A and B are shown apart, each in its own frame.
Chain A
Amino acid sequence: MSDFLTITNTNEFVRFTAESLVYISSDGNYSDIHTRDGGKRTITVQLGTIEELIHQQFLANGDNFVRIGKSLIVNLHFVHYIHPMRRQLILSDNHTFKFTLEASKEALRKLKDYLENANNK
């Protein structure tokens, strides 16, 4: 498997290491890729396609990423805080960056359950 998530189209070539990706948000036909250095790169690729690329290219450690609803892909390593009732999700390495996101209660509750179970294993 590749060390990189590589995304190409007719105009662009861009790649990221799994560790550098914090989350990817959808904006229609565009996707915003947010990285640990606080950067954001907008590419003309739909979120479903990026999920597919992650699935294919990061198969060995693809389960580090979770698709949340229609508009988010999140690196589970950086999930710092979940509050389903407030619909709040905070991604942080507790050092250099902190992203506060919003998602549905149900999705966040499922994410919370998943991480609790994974932690208990």
Chain B
Amino acid sequence: MKHFDDIQDDEIRIIGRQEVIRKPLFKRWWFWTAVAAMCLLTVLILFFILRNIEKQPTDAQKNTASTNVAVAPTIVTAEPAYVIMRDTVINDVPLRLLTPVNAIPELLIGMPDTMDQSLILCFQAADIRADNHDIVGAFIFKGELLSRGVAKKGFCSIIGGKIQLGMAESTPLFEEAIDKEGYFFRQYPLVYNGQMVDNKPKNKALRHALCELNGQIVTVSSLDKESFHDFAQAVADLGVQNAIALTGGASYGFLRNGKHLSASDSLTSLESWSNLQYFEEYKNLNFIVWKASVQ
């Protein structure tokens, strides 16, 4: 039996006379070309699917390998809540550290009520897009998922009154925050395991950070306009183990009844920065606030 292509120049073949079989598929060049193309296509499709999955909001995935979580328990006692304020200068960057004491952290959607005496410290938390005013990145409010995305790898979860900071594209804390009616938001990571993390924005602005310092949660604010790089480096040099950014620039925030440790500043009952009116139109204006459990 011969194939139709199986003939030499010194041969003849009477067509129809011999039993000629069709060349098997696996002996045809185009068959293997097609197989190779399909394999390549499959690999490419899988590659793009997996890549896409990685880029999608994957907080629900239980991937703890790349997660670095700093657990800083908030000690709540029957003592009155207050904020410890401390100013320092690191690498010529003037910083203000605020440590809430005896207060419970939570997220807040909408403008904070400055008349609410239980609110002792307030910072804008997740960034808001200027175009559609949507929250940037995943955001969970009392267990309700209000926004998705991992545009920023840093995260903060508040579950059972405990703040946990980390840097990962996915973390089980996301699901836990939903299950336990907690809070979760994403921001730029600034310090990871004591090392400064670089971020894309290069402009200078007033910066705020949520940090874990010696097992305590503190906020660190720059008193001058700083680049992300300089601010993150200063925060890292401060000895912070983990830190994520809070909304900077002209963001709104306040502290109440600060216990000032710097002799140059005076105590204020309510000290705010920036102008809240500027953000009132933002539908998803959100804050991390510390509330006094006992007033």
Contact = CB atoms under 8 A, between A and B. Distances in A.
A36 interface: no
A107 B15 contact: no
State the main secondary structure of chain B at its contact with A.
loop
20 contacts: A49-B4, A52-B20, A55-B4, A55-B16, A58-B16, A61-B16, A63-B16, A65-B14, A65-B15, A66-B12, A67-B12, A69-B11, A70-B7, A70-B9, A73-B15, A104-B10, A107-B10, A110-B12, A111-B12, A114-B14
A45 B12 CA distance: 20
B16 A65 contact: yes
Interface of B: 3-5, 7-17, 20, 22-23
A51 interface: yes
A47 B10 CA distance: 16
B11 A110 contact: yes
Contact of B16 (A49, A54, A68, A107): A54
A19 to B, nearest CB: 16
B15 A66 contact: yes
Contact of B20 (A55, A104, A105): A55
Contacts of B13: 51, 66-67
Interface centre among B3, B12, B22, by most A CB within 10 Å?
A: B12
B3 to A, nearest CB: 8
A39 B183 CA distance: 83
Nearest to B3: A48
A106 interface: yes
Nearest to B23: A48
A73 B11 CA distance: 12
Interface residues of A, number: 28
Given A52-B4, A55-B20, A67 B9 contact: no
Contacts of A46: 5
A76 B22 CA distance: 24
A63 B9 contact: no
A111 B3 CA distance: 20
Contacts of B23: 48
B245 to A, nearest CB: 59
Given A51-B15, A59-B16, A69 B9 contact: yes
Given A63-B17, A67-B15, A107 B4 contact: no
B131 to A, nearest CB: 48
Interface string A55-83: 10011011101111111010000000000
Contacts of A104: 9-10
A70 B13 CA distance: 10
Nearest to B6: A48
Contacts of A103: 9
A60 B22 CA distance: 19
A69 B12 contact: yes
Contact of B9 (A65, A73, A107, A114): A107
A25 to B, nearest CB: 13
Contacts of A51: 4, 13, 15, 20
- Which 8 residue pairs of A and B lie closest in terms of their CB atoms, listed nearest first? A62-B16, A106-B10, A69-B9, A48-B5, A48-B4, A67-B13, A65-B15, A63-B16
